[in-house]
């Protein structure tokens, strides 16, 4: 199953204790949600474009969940049953804009700021905690986390989100990044890997004066 354009991309901030600590942030008492626009989505092999407006664009390797069933105000059991599968996500972030602006919409929402793929792997409900996420830049490992280290697990996250908004088939949920985030520069190749899914690999390019990379 490839990634179709989702109706919405729901992201979770500070969902790994060590990542919250690296920015001096407290772990939230309930999941901290924000949205990325569907236009930010790119696939495996597509270029992440560094926008003119930012001087610091970071990778954030994350475990992505793809919703398979429409749910609203779901229990944790219903939420788990509504997850169609798992994929790799890179929650690319203009860190300088995130720090200087109260809302994260612009910092997280530029075109190409949501690489996802290369495929959706079925979820194995009894082995969720074993899911592993790695992020590499130019072949050097920068992040390595396990789903069991998440502050809020998959079922709790999806159930929580569904209290606020209807989740629909194809919606993508990025479940937060482990410690080790850092900057990207033009010419880098960034990879996010989940063993059951494969490797999501994206080159990084500077924005060209002619316009954005989207056709
Ligand atoms: Zn993130």
Residue 109 CA to ligand 1 center (angstroms) comes to 12
pLDDT tens readout for residues 112-141? 999 999 999 998 877 887 899 999 999 999
Q: In whole angstroms, what is the distance from residue 29 CA to residue 156 CA?
A: 13
Distance separating alpha carbons of residues 142 and 193, to the nearest angstrom: 12
Peptide bond into 26 cis (omega under 30): no
Q: Indicate whether 72 pLDDT > 80.
A: yes
Dump strand ranges (E) for the chain.
Answer: 9-13, 32-36, 41-42, 48-50, 57-59, 61-67, 83-90, 93-94, 114-121, 132-137, 140-146, 172-174, 182-184, 189-194, 198-206
| Residue 50 in tokens | 């560094």
pLDDT in tens, 23-62: 888 888 999 999 999 999 999 999 999 999 999 999 999 9
CA of 149 to the centre of ligand 1 (A): 15
- Greatest C-alpha distance within the chain: 49
Domain annotation for the chain: domains and CATH numbers:
9-206 (3.90.850.10)
3-state secondary structure of 31: coil
- Integer Cα distance of 30 and 122 in angstroms: 27
- What does the pLDDT read at residue 156? 96
203: pLDDT strictly greater than 50: yes
Tokens of residue 71, six digits: 């749910």
What tokens appear for 3 in the block? Answer: 């990634």
CA of 117 to the centre of ligand 1 (A): 16
Cα-to-centroid distance, 13 and ligand 1 (Å): 6
Q: State residue 215's pLDDT score.
A: 46
pLDDT digits (tens, 9 = 90+) for 140-191: 999 999 999 999 999 999 999 999 999 999 999 999 999 999 999 999 999 9
**The model's pTM:** 0.94
CA of 198 to the centre of ligand 1 (A): 19
d(C-alpha 105, C-alpha 119), whole Å? 26
Q: How far is the CA of 178 from the centre of ligand 1 (A)?
A: 9
Q: In angstroms, what is the span from residue 190 Cα to ligand 1's centroid? A: 15
Is residue 35 within 8 Å of 120, Cβ to Cβ?
Answer: no
Contact between 102 and 208 (Cβ < 8 Å): no
Residues 6+ apart with CB under 8 A from 142: 59, 61, 135, 136, 180, 181, 182
């Amino acid at each position: 199953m490839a990634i179709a354009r989702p109706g919405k991309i729901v992201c979770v901030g500070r969902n790994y204790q060590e990542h919250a600590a690296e920015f001096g942030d407290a772990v939230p008492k309930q999941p901290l949600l924000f949205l990325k626009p569907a236009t930010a989505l790119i696939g495996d092999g597509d270029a992440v474009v560094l926008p003119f407006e930012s001087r610091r664009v970071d990778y954030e390797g994350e475990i992505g969940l793809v919703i398979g069933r429409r749910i609203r105000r779901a229990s944790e059991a219903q939420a788990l049953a509504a997850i169609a599968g798992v994929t790799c996500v890179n929650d690319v972030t203009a860190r300088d804009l995130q720090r200087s602006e109260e809302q994260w919409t612009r910092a997280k929402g530029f075109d190409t700021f949501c690489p996802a793929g290369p495929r959706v792997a079925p979820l194995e409900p009894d082995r969720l905690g074993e899911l592993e996420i790695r992020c590499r830049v130019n072949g050097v490992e920068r992040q390595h986390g396990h789903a069991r280290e998440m502050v809020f697990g998959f079922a709790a996250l999806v159930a929580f989100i569904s209290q606020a908004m209807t989740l629909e088939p194809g919606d993508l949920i990025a479940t937060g990044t482990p410690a080790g985030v850092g900057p990207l520069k033009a010419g880098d190749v960034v990879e996010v890997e989940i063993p059951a899914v494969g490797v999501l690999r994206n080159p990084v390019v500077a924005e060209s004066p002619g316009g954005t990379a989207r056709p």
